[in-house]
């Protein structure tokens, strides 16, 4: 699986719980994520954002139950008896359904299978509620992260500057991406350089 380097720690976090969620639940939902990316033909930078969102939601949901590690964004006060499997599945489902609404039926079917394997109980209900709440929090966190911002990138014939190439002379891919809010850094000192670059002020 190819991911941007900043996503690798987030992916790994989902697999290191002291009282682990069943590994196949996380792996199954990671496969759902990868298939969604393939079906949507999502470009790699945007796919890396989706990967980070899904696995951060899974981590924070299960960690809210285990209360073992520092959360990435949210740590709910939930019973330690809540189902980790239900929390992980619901968190992954809700983020994926938001990011890939055209594939919601596929995610619904996978979630139904996972939840059917868990006995109806307060633990299951608590797990589902935890996963859903954490997913909503992660989605809200990234709502204004500049990933959908439109940035003009004027072509130039100057040496070392990007320019359209044949045969399609396509537009540059995601010129806004350096402005997207980082996942693991509090600040990234590229904004000034990038604005100079796209405005043609920097050679």
Q: Residues 125, 158: one domain?
A: no
Last residue of a domain, one of 141, 171, 190: 141
Q: How many CB atoms lie within 10 A of CB 146?
A: 13
How high is the pLDDT of residue 187? Answer: 63
Omega prior to 23 cis, within 30 of 0: no
Q: Residues 68, 156: one domain?
A: no
Q: Residues 166, 114: one domain?
A: no
Q: Residues 111, 16: one domain?
A: yes
Q: Residues 119, 170: one domain?
A: no
Q: Residues 81, 134: one domain?
A: yes
Q: Residues 55, 134: one domain?
A: yes
Last residue of a domain, one of 141, 175, 194: 141
How high is the pLDDT of residue 18? Answer: 35
33 token code pair: 């994520």
Given a contact cutoff of 8 angstroms between Cβ atoms, the answer to whether 130 and 80 are in contact is: no
Q: Is the pLDDT of residue 45 over 50?
A: yes
Last residue of a domain, one of 141, 159, 188: 141
The model's pLDDT over 111-134, given as tens digits with 9 standing for 90+, comes to 999 999 999 999 999 999 999 999
How many domains is the chain partitioned into structurally? 2
Q: Residues 107, 172: one domain?
A: no
Given a contact cutoff of 8 angstroms between Cβ atoms, the answer to whether 144 and 103 are in contact is: no
Q: Residues 73, 17: one domain?
A: yes
For residue 105, the enclosing domain spans 5-141
Q: How many CB atoms lie within 10 A of CB 137?
A: 18
SS3 content of the chain, % helix, strand, coil (to 5): 55, 0, 45
Q: Is the pLDDT of residue 39 over 60?
A: yes
In the three-class reduction of DSSP (H, G, I as helix; E, B as strand; rest coil), residue 184 is classed as: coil
pLDDT higher at 161 or 142? 142
CA 120/CA 175 separation, integer angstroms = 48
Q: Where residue 38 falls among pLDDT bands split at 50, 70, 90?
A: very high
Q: Residues 133, 180: one domain?
A: no
178 token code pair: 């350096």
Q: Is the pLDDT of residue 5 over 50?
A: no
Residue with tokens 């720690």: 9
């Amino acid at each position: 699986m190819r991911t941007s380097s900043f996503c690798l720690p987030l992916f790994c976090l989902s697999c290191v719980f002291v009282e682990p969620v069943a590994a196949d639940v996380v792996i199954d939902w990671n496969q759902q994520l990868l298939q969604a990316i393939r079906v949507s033909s999502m470009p790699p930078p945007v796919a890396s954002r989706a990967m980070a969102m899904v696995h951060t939601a899974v981590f924070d949901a299960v960690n809210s139950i285990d209360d073992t590690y520092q959360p990435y964004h949210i740590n709910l006060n939930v019973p330690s008896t809540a189902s980790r499997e239900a929390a992980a599945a619901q968190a992954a489902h809700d983020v994926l359904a938001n990011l890939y609404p055209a594939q919601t039926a596929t995610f619904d079917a996978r979630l139904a299978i996972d939840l059917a394997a868990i006995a109806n109980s307060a633990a299951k209900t608590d797990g589902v509620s935890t996963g859903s709440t954490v997913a909503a929090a992660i989605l809200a966190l990234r709502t204004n992260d500049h990933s959908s911002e439109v940035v003009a990138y004027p072509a130039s014939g100057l040496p070392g500057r990007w320019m359209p190439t044949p045969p399609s002379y396509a537009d540059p891919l995601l010129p806004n991406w350096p402005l997207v809010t980082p996942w693991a850094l509090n600040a990234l000192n590229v904004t000034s350089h990038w604005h100079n670059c796209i405005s043609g002020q920097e050679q």
